Amino acid sequence: QWRYLDILAGMPWLTTETSEEFIPQMLNLDILGGISFNKGCYTGQEIVARTHYLGKTKRTMFLAECDTPSTPLPNSIIIDDGTGTEHAIGKVLLAQRSHAEHENEKSSCKLLIVLQVSDSDTYSLKLKDDNHNKITLLT
């Protein structure tokens, strides 16, 4: 339940599979106040500062929903099914199912996904899996 609420709040969690995939701005940590640009030294600080002062990131994190029977794993590939190719345009950072309160209620799977910014308005986002489950952006 805790992780599900963090996903809804846009709070990224890194796992072993995703720990070296993204810079902080891709996970919206600059917006969340999780980066200091005027204090401290840390690994990767030059890249983080350069991205902040000179330009934008090419990828960013979005809240999404997926109707899938199983919870997607971190680093699962996201494709644009409308192009006819299975070219990867993003990855799943974190996913968690809600708990249905009643037996006949369907539980949804919420995801934090990182997409190329230019692809964020694509309407055919799908998981690259056996079923090509559709992904809907919520933010």
pLDDT tens, residue by residue, 44-97: 677 777 777 777 778 889 999 998 888 999 999 999 887 777 788 899 999 998
Question: Residue 95, SS3?
Answer: strand
Tokens 């902040």, residue? 52
Residue 100 vs residue 110, higher pLDDT: 110
- Sorted by where each begins, the domain ranges of the chain are 2-137
Query: What's this model's pTM, rounded to 2 decimal places?
Result: 0.82
How does pLDDT run across 2-25, given as a tens digit for each residue? 899 999 999 999 988 898 888 888
Statement: 2-137 belongs to CATH 2.40.30.110: no
